Every structure is written in structure tokens, then in C-alpha cells.
Amino acid sequence: MSKYSDLEIKQAITAEDKQKCIDIRVRVFVDEQKYTLESETNDEYDATCDHYLATCLATKDDGTTVRVPVGTLRYIAYGDFVAKLGRLAVHSDARGLKVGLRLVQHFVEVARAKGDRAIVLHGQQDKRGFYEKAGFSVDACDEAGFLEDGTPHIRMWYRF
């Protein structure tokens, strides 16, 4: 049986929930992937974008459960009815359980409800297959990719 169950995704409204999102990003992007702490704690979009927090019930050794943060992503209104999906991160011990996919699906529904016509993201090259499974694709003109914060990235789109 998985340690995690009962996934819930909600917009992080309170300062406490927003901090939980940042904490996940620091664990994943700074501790694990070695991006700078500055990039996660002092980003120009964080104050104005919408943050989403995924939580699960975690089963403890004594059989009791506690709700814990497992993933996050953020929504930036880019203008011209385009949303930017960013900072998708799932705790390493919660991966492979469809938390990432469910976060992206949730984002798509949020963007659809807001009236967006498209979603764009700059994905790490080695995550392309993940985003393709979530319905994103790469335009032919973007196939070359680019470096962002020193690592290979690729622009991907989801069009409604």
C-alpha cells in the first residue's frame, strides 16, 4: 500500500500555505536540483501569481494519518489569454503516484475556467515526455530548445 493517499489540490491563499509551496520548491529545485536559493525565494512573479498546493494523507508507522504537502505549481497570467505554468515540483518520495499529472490537469481546468486560450511552459528537456503525457506539445520552431538557469529547457504549449 502506498504511504500516500487522498490527494487534494487547492489554491494556496494563506501565507502559511504559500510558504508550504515555497518549501517544496526549495527542497526540490535547490536541495535536489542545485538551483540557487535566490531563484526560489526571491522570484519576481511569486508575489503576484497564483500558487497551488497538493496534499496527501500520509500513513505513519503507528497507522495513524496526517495531511502533508506533496507538490506545488504556479499560475502566471501572461496576457493575451495565455497562462504560464511553472515551478511544478513533487516531493521525491511522492513521485510516480500521478501527483504531478493531477497538478497539471488541475492547472488546465483552472486556465480553462479563466478563459485562457493557451498554456505555455518552459520545461526541463528531460521532462518533455511527462508534459506530453499531460497533453502539451512542442512547436516545430521551438525544437532546438534553450538554456534557462544553465540547464536545457524547451517551450511547450497546451492549446484549448
Ligand X SMILES: CC(C)(COP(=O)(O)OP(=O)(O)OC[C@H]1O[C@@H](n2cnc3c(N)ncnc32)[C@H](O)[C@@H]1OP(=O)(O)O)[C@@H](O)C(=O)NCCC(=O)NCCS
Q: Which residues bind ligand X (CB under 6 A)?
A: 28, 88-90, 95-101, 123-124, 126-127, 129-130, 133
Nearer to ligand X, 57 or 62 (CB): 57
Q: Which residue shows C-alpha cell 496527501?
A: 56
Report the nearest approach of ligand X to the CB of residue 38 (Å): 18
Report the nearest approach of ligand X to the CB of residue 126 (Å): 5
Q: How far apart are CA 65 and CA 155, in angstroms?
A: 39
Q: How far is CA 48 from CA 43, 44, 74, in A?
A: 10, 8, 10
Nearer to ligand X, 14 or 108 (CB): 108
Residue 58 identity: A
Q: Which residue shows C-alpha cell 513533487?
A: 90
Q: How far apart are CA 158 and CA 83, in angstroms?
A: 10
Nearer to ligand X, 22 or 101 (CB): 101
Q: Which residue is nearest to ligand X (CB)?
A: 100
Nearer to ligand X, 56 or 111 (CB): 56
